Amino acid sequence: MTERTPRIAMVAGEVSGDTLGAGLIEALKARYPDATFEGVAGTGMTAAGCRALASVDELALFGIGEVVGEIPRLLRLRKRLLSHWTESPPDVFVGIDAPAFNTGLERRLRAAGVPTVHYVCPTAWAWREGRVRALREAVDLMLSIFPFEEDFFARHGVPVRYVGHRLADELPLHPDAASARAALGLPSARHWVGLLPGSRLSEVERLGPAFIDTALWLRRRLPDVAFVAPMARPRVADRFRAQLAERAPDLTVHLIDGRSREVMRAADALLVASGTATLEALLAKAPMVVAYAVSPFTYRLVRHLRLLKVAHVSMPNLIAGRALVPEFLQTEVRPEILGPWLYRLLVSPAARSAQIDGFTELHERLRRDADAAAADAVAGVMEGAA
């Protein structure tokens, strides 16, 4: 490491990356109090002391149509950042997630002599192993947030270090369900089931009807069961409310504006769409049944081309390396399949304990003081290049 004040460049691709970046900045400042930071930042990174060359909102895009339409602007932004950092090289560049944008930038900066770190592994292990070659050329070090990623990238010759998951550091090992119910104002009930059909409108379109039908299946067998559903956005809530009115007008579901983590802590069991929510449910120690469906065309394409490279799709099962929670895809997403599994979680203490004990073990594996571990890794790359 040079004696001059370290200068660290960073690019976060969305709000979650901004949160990771803010924690990393704070941990690096503890080691290098005079360090300066600049890059693509959101409110968290800016508050932590990063000079914003562009806003994280410029990269936070959803849907292929939106991305395609923005390609020229994104290429101009990447060219501007590349020019800035090749003319005035930082001591290290840290790309946080956003592999489609960051990998090309990292490759060019590394070729120009700038050490590069990529924080949050791309899901090459699930979909496109061919991307690994590009990553080998782009990064001096990959920071993984899940333990199974470390093994995959190491096998493929990518320098990698497991740093743990920041959310596991933040959330308690033993959540309090009673306080979550009180905070949400939920009335007393023997069984509470959380319905989480997804945060995107397309997910609710595909999963909402099956989730509602499964709730009806459960109510016929457990008359005192109650349902609560956190809604990510007003449009998602409106669509799910319309589905309820159409399929189950007499079914009461308490719709909550956001607050999904509190709902997870409050529920006795969850029916949840596969995705980030399954990790949050694991950390909330919420027993779950996982379901997911994509368009029939996409599913046929994935199967025909054998694009899916993993045995499981939900985060608890991927991290555990086994079928810790039941997960169902496509034509399996039906009430006669989902309902019995949820019923078992509600009436069988042994079934609940098996999941909760597994979740607690995984939480401890993920809890590694991620901010400090990531800062140690970045510092190592800087000092090794000095």
Q: Does residue 169 fall inside a structural domain?
A: no
Q: Identify the pLDDT of residue 147.
A: 92
Q: Identify the pLDDT of residue 67.
A: 53
- For the segment 299-315, what is each residue's pLDDT rounded down to a tens digit? 555 555 454 555 778 99
Which tokens go with 230? Answer: 């956190």
What is the total count of domains within the chain?
2
Q: Are residues 147 and 181 in the same domain?
A: no
Handedness of CA 26, 28, 30, 35 (dihedral sign): negative
CATH assignment at residue 136: 3.40.50.2000
Residue type, 198: G
3-state secondary structure of 209: helix
Which tokens go with 297? Answer: 């065309």
**Cα 43–Cα 47–Cα 52 angle in degrees, nearest 5:** 65
Residue 354: CB atoms within 10 Å: 15
Beta bridge partners of 270: 194, 288
Q: Are residues 241 and 287 in the same domain?
A: yes
User: Low-confidence residues of the chain, pLDDT below 50?
Assistant: 1-2, 61-66, 126-127, 305, 307
Q: Identify the pLDDT of residue 297.
A: 58
Q: Identify the pLDDT of residue 300.
A: 59
Residue 323: CB atoms within 10 Å: 12
Question: If you search the block for the tokens 């304990």, which residue do you land on?
Answer: 353
Q: Does residue 159 fall inside a structural domain?
A: yes
- What percentage of the chain reaches a pLDDT higher than 90? 73
Q: Does residue 172 fall inside a structural domain?
A: no
Q: Are residues 53 and 99 in the same domain?
A: yes
Q: Does residue 35 fall inside a structural domain?
A: yes
> 3-state SS of 42-111?
CHHHHHHCEEEEEEHHHCCCCCHHHHHHHHHHHHHHHHHHHHHHHHCCCCEEEEECCHHHHHHHHHHHHH
Q: Are residues 352 and 373 in the same domain?
A: no
- What are the distances in angstroms from CA 343 to CA 5, 70, 113, 269? 60, 46, 58, 9
Q: Identify the pLDDT of residue 384.
A: 86
Q: Identify the pLDDT of residue 64.
A: 38
Q: Identify the pLDDT of residue 65.
A: 41
**Domain residue limits at 308:** 177-366
Q: Are residues 52 and 91 in the same domain?
A: yes
Q: Are residues 378 and 349 in the same domain?
A: no
Q: Identify the pLDDT of residue 303.
A: 59
Question: What's the predicted TM-score (pTM) here?
Answer: 0.86
Q: Does residue 1 fall inside a structural domain?
A: no
